């Protein structure tokens, strides 16, 4: 005898849908992902939802790594070498990268609204690992700087609609999450600067809603929906495309 139910697990603003199957043949709660990255939970008949949530919470890092690619992955299939012709994603669009020799001591990235230009010393223009790491760091530094400048600027209109004062926003490395709300402040993953602004707004709205509701209750989602009526579509975009927000 077994039954299947559709449920949702929350990791910060990330919602992970999963299917539960209770089975008389199980003694422990098991998790599995198929080729389409659909999460299935198999549980013994005696298991409660609290038991299942406890297991999911203990495997959050694994879930985020498998589903959304937020952790650094070993051996990516097509790692960037930061050469002319590659593309970099910024605010939801991909722009071509041009690498040029210049009189610089460290690689430097710039953007003219159409093309990224990476200036490198001639000794950095080859494909050796050290050169690739130096070029990658220049790209990462540029994106972090843009994220620090741009992401907090998207919050005031949302705060105004919620009647909130200015909320401190920090941007940086945030392992396994796109954002979090803690002690009256928001932290955002700098990789969000690569996503469309509508996705950035969803994550910020989600975290601002936590200043009013600590949990993911119906009232919480009603608050998010008041700010972002199509939040479910944006949340799904992040679930499906989050692993593309990498450098």
Q: What is the pLDDT of residues 12-65, one digit of tens each?
A: 656 777 888 888 888 888 888 765 567 888 888 898 888 888 888 888 878 776
pTM value is 0.71
Same domain, 235 and 171: yes
- Residue 164 in any domain: the answer is yes
Same domain, 236 and 165: yes
Task: Please spell the DSSP secondary structure of 3-71, one letter per residue.
Answer: EEEEEEEEETTEEEEEEEEEETT-SS-EEEE-TT--EEEEEETT--HHHHHHHHHHTHHHHHHHHH--S
- Residue 81 in any domain: the answer is no
- Residue 73 in any domain: the answer is no
What is the 3-class SS of 130-153, one letter each residue?
Answer: HHHHHHHHHHHHHHHHHHHHHHHH
Same domain, 182 and 139: no
218-227 and 197-209 helices, crossing angle to 10°: 140
Same domain, 159 and 233: yes
- Residue 181 in any domain: the answer is yes
Same domain, 132 and 160: no
C-alpha closest to that of 31 among 52, 12, 46: 52
Strand partners, 30: 42
Same domain, 146 and 157: no
pLDDT tens-digit map of 119-174:
998 776 555 666 888 999 999 999 999 999 999 999 999 999 999 999 999 999 98
Strand partners, 40: 19, 32
d(CA 76, CA 88): 16
CATH number assigned to the domain comprising residue 221: 3.30.2010.10
Same domain, 240 and 161: yes
Same domain, 26 and 39: yes
Provide the domain limits for residue 108: 87-150
Single out the residue in 150, 172, 203 at which a domain terminates: 150
Number of domains, the chain: 3
Rg (CA), the chain: 21
Q: What are phi and psi of 105, to 5 degrees?
A: -85, -25
Same domain, 127 and 198: no
Same domain, 51 and 37: yes
pLDDT tens-digit map of 62-96:
877 666 555 443 334 457 889 889 999 999 999 99
Same domain, 146 and 171: no
Same domain, 141 and 157: no
């Amino acid at each position: 005898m077994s039954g299947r139910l559709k449920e949702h697990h929350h990791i910060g603003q990330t919602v992970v849908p999963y299917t539960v199957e209770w089975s008389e043949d199980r003694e422990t709660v098991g998790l599995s992902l198929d080729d389409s990255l659909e999460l299935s939970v198999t549980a013994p008949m005696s298991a409660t939802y609290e038991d299942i949530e406890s297991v999911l919470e203990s495997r959050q890092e694994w879930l985020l790594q498998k589903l959304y690619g937020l952790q650094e992955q070993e051996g990516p299939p097509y790692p960037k070498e930061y050469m002319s012709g590659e593309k970099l994603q910024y605010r939801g669009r991909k722009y071509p990268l041009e690498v040029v020799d210049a009189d610089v001591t460290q690689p430097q990235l710039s953007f003219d609204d159409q093309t990224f230009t990476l200036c490198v010393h001639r000794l950095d223009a080859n494909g050796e690992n050290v050169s690739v790491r130096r070029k990658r760091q220049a790209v990462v530094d540029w994106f972090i700087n843009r994220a620090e400048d741009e992401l907090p600027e998207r919050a005031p209109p949302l705060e105004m609609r919620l009647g909130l004062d200015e909320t401190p926003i920090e941007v940086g490395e945030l392992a396994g999450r796109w954002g979090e709300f803690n002690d009256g402040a928001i932290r955002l993953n700098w990789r969000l600067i690569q996503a469309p602004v509508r996705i950035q707004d969803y994550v910020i709205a989600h975290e601002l809603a936590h200043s009013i509701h600590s949990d993911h209750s119906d009232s919480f989602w009603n608050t998010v929906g008041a700010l972002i009526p199509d939040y479910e579509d944006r949340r799904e975009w992040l679930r499906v495309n989050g692993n593309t927000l990498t450098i």
